[in-house]
Amino acid sequence: MKKGLYFSPIILACIFTLSVIGCGEDDSVEIQSVDPPDASAIAADTTITVSFSAPPQNLTVSKGEVTTSDNTATISGPFPLGKLDIELTWEGGNRRLTYTVKDKVGEPVVPEGMVLIPEGEFQLGSISRDAGNVEQPGHTVYLNAFYMDKYEVTNADYKKFVDANPEWQKGTIASGFHDGNYLVNWSENTYPSGKANHPVVSVSWYAAAAYANWVNKRLPTEAEWEKAARGGVEGQRYPWGNSIDDSKANYSLNVGYAGSTTPVGDYPPNGYGIFDIVGNVLEWCLDTYDKDYYDDPPNKNPVAGPDSIEVVVENFKNITSSRALRGGSWVEGGQPRVWITYRRGNEPARTSHLIGFRCAKSVAP
């Protein structure tokens, strides 16, 4: 009697299953690479290339247009500026890609109302022999790129700040942050009629620093201020050249009967597109005023005083040392108080009808 082969129901079920799905094989389609890489910055017209382990079936994307060829998919824009999330879905899989879309990849997006001052060396404190009988050799210093406000902060700008921050209003500011004449030309919380676009004056260094923090900026260092004021030209007394010119700036009581501030932007800009960088009002700077500091400054990103930019910004209310002022005002004559290189300082609580400010901002690495 021959013995037949015997298969249990369990063994038969396993054989049938293996014949259908294979011996442990995974047929899922997966992404192998993405170019540009996920989480990077891209331009609006970038084409994104995605490589799969096998041809993706029924691939769709939430943003852009997609085409496929074998194992490769290309996603094209144009894409909107800002954060970009692209959902990819195909049979058996999905993936989200995230990018930051910029105007020009590799170049910072300049904040509204500011200009980019490029990184590099310049001659700090330099006045060439061509400027006349006074020659200052200057010092070669390197500055990282930064942004500078095109205009001085106006009354209208500053009112938005005090409306949003009552502790900096005229009637409530802490006594330690001013000298008793804070916003002396304002009536309570209202600036003078007809002067919305004039630079705000009679603000202390503390108040200027507080405003700058509120708008996510800071005050410029003296070195930054001077580089910005030069407009890309070395060795000159003024942003426009070496001769004083009352058509180029508001100085020496040359406006009206007795002189006054003028609306920001009334005079021509310098080579960087910055207005009223000399004249109109003196401008607070971030760093300590040290009359000897620029005799031999550090050759990279000089900041006078013991503290870094970051420490001053974060702890501005605790500052007690004098602060630098630059630029001359509507009262002062052009020789030399309106020169680009002219330096002075005052106590951080000081206010004056000659003093205002503009803001700067570091370029993110």
Number of domains in the chain: 2
- pLDDT score at 3: 43
Across the 365 residues of the chain, what is the mean pLDDT of every consecutive 10-residue run?
43 38 59 86 90 92 93 92 90 90 73 94 75 60 96 98 97 97 96 97 98 97 97 90 91 73 96 96 97 90 96 97 95 84 95 98 88
Instruction: Return the bridge partners of 42, or none.
Output: 101
Q: Of 102, 130, 152, which closes a domain?
A: 102
Residues 76 and 179 in one domain: no
Question: Residue 339 and residue 123: Cα distance in Å, rounded?
Answer: 15
Question: Residue 80 and residue 83: Cα distance in Å, rounded?
Answer: 8
- pLDDT score at 332: 86
Residues 188 and 66 in one domain: no
Which residue range forms the structural domain that includes residue 58?
A: 31-102
Residues 197 and 92 in one domain: no
Answer whether residue 1 is part of any domain: no
In angstroms, the Cα distances linking 142 to 97, 111, 118, 124, 324 are 39, 23, 10, 9, 20
- pLDDT score at 127: 67
Residues 176 and 219 in one domain: yes
Q: Which residues of 233-256 are buried (b: 16+ CB within 10 A; e: fewer)?
A: eebbbbbbeeebeeebbbbbeebe
Residues 142 and 287 in one domain: yes
Q: Is the pTM of this model over 0.75?
A: no
